[in-house]
Structure 1
Amino acid sequence: MAEITRRGMLRHLAAAMTMAAVLLPGVGATAAEDSFPSQDIRFINAFSPGGTSDMLGRILADQLSKQLGHRVVVDNRTGAGGVIATQELARAAPDGHTILLASMGIMTITPQLQSVPYDVEKDITPIVKAASVYNVLVASPKSEIRTWQDLARLGKDAGRSPRCATVGAGSSQQLSCVLFASLTGARIDQVPYRGGAPAILDIAAGRVEVMFGNMPEFMGQIRDGGLRPVAYGAAEASPLLPDVPVISKTGLPDFVIPNWFGVVMPGGAAPAVVQRWNAEINKALEAPEVQRRFTENGLQRLGGTQEAFRQQIADDHARWGKVIREHGIRPE
């Protein structure tokens, strides 16, 4: 009850600040802008160090720290496919000093697969899309899987079920495994992890056969021979690995899995603070060092308006809701 009361007070305070900005044009906005940031920023990340989300978060945190004059500190809160991290954000004060790097799965898939202790529309404020990543199927070099057709064939073998690493219910990795199995008729066992890094280690060691995931976290092991790139789940091939085939163009047209990351903050935030964050993140995405690191790791810059991000969330919620219903996808 104390937590609910505290959150209610924060929401009322934020609403009062917003009303002041409306009644006194320029005054409320100026006050919010002048007082932000007044301390270091907590940048919550839903996944473990070493994965794509963590990599992207730290690239942005480095640049934003320079721009804002305060440290932007990455805080990894792993578990439950991003639910723990998102709940942390929803409980925070909506003053702009706590933000979250949210994935497509966190915002549009997880809430449709399981009950979550927050309302995505009311308790979370979208700020801006940050980046998109290529979805890639990789296999252990110790496995016999060299094409996506090999994976489908093995999954139909009555004597065995290939193991597919995921990072929890509602993630694009889980959606990829389940949708692939549904479209091909293969049986594939999911093995959940708290992040991409520990999953990759097990794939390289041969303890798990495959993983659909984000290209940036795979590149180091691919270059060193620790992972075998098999096919793209994305709509197009990346310039970094142009010879790897695209699943949707080689026999499975309905298999297209995009993934994006965006920055969000608690619900009830003052519009001036949201606008300031949107401007700062767009500025960070234009920084030469950020562009260089994105290119090297297979990240695609996005940016844009808050309204465009809000619409992306709504569109993907509808799209993946339809896929979930049509294919009977459930959390594993």
Structure 2
Amino acid sequence: MKTTHRRGLAALLAAAAFLAPVASRAADPPFTRDIRFLNPFAPGGTSDLLGRILAEQLGKQVGQQVVVENRTGGGGVVATQELTRSNPDGHTILLASMGILTVTPQMQPLPYDVDRDIIPVTNIASVYNILVTGPNAPIRSWQDLARLAKERGRNTSCATVGAGSSQQLSCILFGALTGTTITQVPYRGGAPAILDISTGRVDVMFGNMPEFLGQIRDGGLRAVAYGAAEASPLIPDLPVISKDGLPGFVIPSWFGVVLPGRTPDAMVARWNAELNRAMQAPEVQRRFTENGLQMLGGTREDFQRQIAADRQRWGAIIREHNIRPE
């Protein structure tokens, strides 16, 4: 009798352990229609690539279509405002850049409050910052760029994707550290900027490596140097600016997912779980690696700490160098 009782109890415990995750998933707030995945930059750039990799995997997980919407303009302000105006029911998310959450709020008035109207969910990926130029340009090192900028003055140009972007900060910080002034040429995303750099209409761009890799491999762009803290394993022999005579030049860049303010905690928690699960998918990890995307993930609190740290860091640099939108 005791043996039978023990076996019955063991069976019940095993069943409970098996069903617990199912019950937990059943309690998750449901997705009842297509998900709008807002992207603040034009198709063809790093943000667009990252968003589409995630959307494909997330659609498989949540049982709904995850539709990427490119809402360009204002260096991300247009897409972010669209998010803050949406229904906070979890069916609209935004892939936010570092600039949107940490830099732009310190540089210009905004039609929303980044702390009140946006809920960070999780950080997704960091990317290497890289200096590129056209294949026929006379720039083969960061020192060449500094020399040309001193000789030409404002006739030297640098592509950006708007105020507060890592591209703009790179251009301005490089000028401040080298005693030069480089004219900024704003675009709605990395892809249209690449066209003008490759043809020589714009001299250089400090941008996100994933959107340059294809052109670098095909000879349409020349990789000059890294603006990150370390070299990338994809192009390990390329000089790192901060280790090649300009130690203050380190430009981190990352993209994370955010929800509208007032989104219920249960839905925020579900999105955190879904995004971290998506980043563990082998196909997502493969595509991240081959495109030079460094996977992050983690808790909401991890993401909030990263935002606070970068907001403090860039705030100090903005004030020190009197950086303003152009």
Report the TM-score when normalising by structure 1.
0.90
Shift of 1:161: 2.7
Determine the structure 1 residue equivalent to 2:243: 249
Q: Would the aligned equivalents of 2:154 and 2:183 in 1 still touch at CA under 8 Å?
A: no
Determine the structure 1 residue equivalent to 2:56: 62
Determine the structure 2 residue equivalent to 1:25: none
Q: Would the aligned equivalents of 2:216 and 2:223 in 1 still touch at CA under 8 Å?
A: yes
Shift of 1:186: 1.2
Shift of 1:32: 10
Q: Which ranges in structure 1 are unaligned for 5 or more consecutive residues?
A: 1-29
Find the partner of 2:268 among 250, 265, 274: 274
**For 2:84, what is the secondary structure of its paired residue?**
helix
Shift of 1:34: 4.6
Q: Would the aligned equivalents of 1:170 and 1:331 in 2 still touch at CA under 8 Å?
A: yes
Find the partner of 2:148 among 145, 148, 154: 154
**For 2:123, what is the secondary structure of its paired residue?**
strand
Q: Are 2:122 and 1:128 aligned?
A: yes
Q: Would the aligned equivalents of 2:140 and 2:224 in 1 still touch at CA under 8 Å?
A: yes
**For 1:152, what is the secondary structure of its paired residue?**
helix
**For 1:252, what is the secondary structure of its paired residue?**
coil
**1:46-65, CA deviations, whole angstroms, 9 ceiling, x for partnerless residues?**
00000000000000000000
Matches within 5 A, 1:47-58: 47-58=41-52
Determine the structure 2 residue equivalent to 1:108: 102
Is the alpha carbon distance of 1:196 and 1:325 closer, same or farther for their aligned partners in structure 2, counting shifts above 3 Å?
same
Shift of 1:199: 0.1
Q: Would the aligned equivalents of 2:28 and 2:266 in 1 still touch at CA under 8 Å?
A: no
* CA distance in structure 2 between the partners assigned to 1:163 and 1:53 by the alignment: 23
Q: Would the aligned equivalents of 1:33 and 1:272 in 2 still touch at CA under 8 Å?
A: no
Q: Would the aligned equivalents of 2:153 and 2:182 in 1 still touch at CA under 8 Å?
A: no
Find the partner of 1:87 among 75, 78, 81: 81
Letter paired with 1:136:
I
Determine the structure 2 residue equivalent to 1:260: 254
Q: Would the aligned equivalents of 1:137 and 1:213 in 2 still touch at CA under 8 Å?
A: yes
Larger Rg: 2
* CA distance in structure 2 between the partners assigned to 1:35 and 1:158 by the alignment: 59
Determine the structure 2 residue equivalent to 1:227: 221
**1:114-165, CA deviations, whole angstroms, 9 ceiling, x for partnerless residues?**
1110000000000000000000000111210000000000111156631100
* CA distance in structure 2 between the partners assigned to 1:284 and 1:156 by the alignment: 47
**1:70-113, CA deviations, whole angstroms, 9 ceiling, x for partnerless residues?**
01000000000000000000111111000000000000001111
* CA distance in structure 1 between the partners assigned to 2:277 and 2:254 by the alignment: 19
Q: Would the aligned equivalents of 1:282 and 1:303 in 2 still touch at CA under 8 Å?
A: yes
Q: Which ranges in structure 2 are unaligned for 5 or more consecutive residues?
A: 1-23
Shift of 1:315: 1.0
* CA distance in structure 2 between the partners assigned to 1:300 and 1:140 by the alignment: 26
Q: Would the aligned equivalents of 1:163 and 1:209 in 2 still touch at CA under 8 Å?
A: yes
**For 2:256, what is the secondary structure of its paired residue?**
strand
Q: Are 2:196 and 1:180 aligned?
A: no
* CA distance in structure 1 between the partners assigned to 2:167 and 2:158 by the alignment: 9
Q: Would the aligned equivalents of 1:48 and 1:195 in 2 still touch at CA under 8 Å?
A: yes
**For 1:157, what is the secondary structure of its paired residue?**
helix
**For 1:122, what is the secondary structure of its paired residue?**
coil
**For 1:94, what is the secondary structure of its paired residue?**
coil
Find the partner of 1:305 among 295, 299, 303: 299
Shift of 1:327: 0.5
* CA distance in structure 2 between the partners assigned to 1:158 and 1:67 by the alignment: 53
Q: Are 2:204 and 1:210 aligned?
A: yes
Q: Would the aligned equivalents of 2:40 and 2:96 in 1 still touch at CA under 8 Å?
A: yes
Q: Are 2:31 and 1:37 aligned?
A: yes
Report the TM-score when normalising by structure 2.
0.91
**For 1:212, what is the secondary structure of its paired residue?**
strand
Letter paired with 1:188:
I
Count of paired positions: 304
Determine the structure 2 residue equivalent to 1:191: 185
Q: Would the aligned equivalents of 1:127 and 1:278 in 2 still touch at CA under 8 Å?
A: yes
Q: Are 2:282 and 1:288 aligned?
A: yes
Is the alpha carbon distance of 1:160 and 1:107 closer, same or farther for their aligned partners in structure 2, counting shifts above 3 Å?
closer
